[in-house]
Every structure is written in C-alpha cells, then in structure tokens.
Amino acid sequence: MITNYLIAGMVGIMLFFTVVVAPTVFKVLPVEWSSKYVRNFFPKYYAFLGLVTLVTVFTEQDPVNRLYLIACVILFAFTLFFLTGRINAAKDEGRNKQFHVLHGLSVVINVIQLGIFIYLLAISL
C-alpha cells in the first residue's frame, strides 16, 4: 500500500514539473535565470526521485514490479551522475547537436520512468 502512495507522489511531482513548472520558468524568467534554475533543480529532482524509488524497491512485494522499480532507480542514477553533466557541458561549449541529443535522451528516460510508474499504479488497482 505504501508503495502505491510513493509512486503516486512521484507521478504527481513528475507531471507537475513537466506541465506547470518547466513551461512557466522558461516563459517568465530571463534565459540566464531559467538556465541557472534548471541546472540547480534537476540534480535535486533526479536524486530525490531516485531515493524515493529506492525506498519503493524495499516496500514492493511483487518481484517483477520490484525489477521495474530497480530499473527506474538505475535510470535516475544514470541521468543524475552521467547525463546531467554532459548536457550542461554540451550547452556551455555550444555543442548544440550533442546538447539536443543528450537532452532528448534525458526526456525519453523520464517519460519511460513516468510510464513505468503509471503502469505499476494501474496494475495495482
């Protein structure tokens, strides 16, 4: 039961950031401020969601669902420790094509994680 609450909370965080926060930040703040905000936010986002997902690994009873959650933990860690620095470096160095590829990969990973969380909630009903 606690697993579903944790997953539902993560889905809420992920959707709220994607639908409300990110578009607002880029519309309201100047580019240099929005970039600084996003660079500061994302490591915390990936770390927090990764840690909460790790907790769900230990609260989930179904071994198959636990594997889905472990995959999400690994993806959060990969995005936090590998992709984020490379995305920032590509942006800083004007490597726009590499930036778009890496950023696109981080978005795809985030959508996959969100899909897994929604799937796990749906099958628990």
Please tell me the total count of domains within the chain. Answer: 1
pLDDT of residue 1: 86
What is the pTM assigned to this prediction? 0.94
**C-alpha to C-alpha distance for 51 and 54, rounded to whole angstroms:** 5
Range of the structural domain that residue 113 is part of: 2-123
Render each residue's pLDDT in the chain as its tens digit; 125 residues: 899 999 999 999 999 999 999 999 989 999 889 989 999 999 999 999 999 999 999 999 999 999 999 999 999 999 999 999 999 999 999 999 999 999 999 999 999 999 999 999 999 98
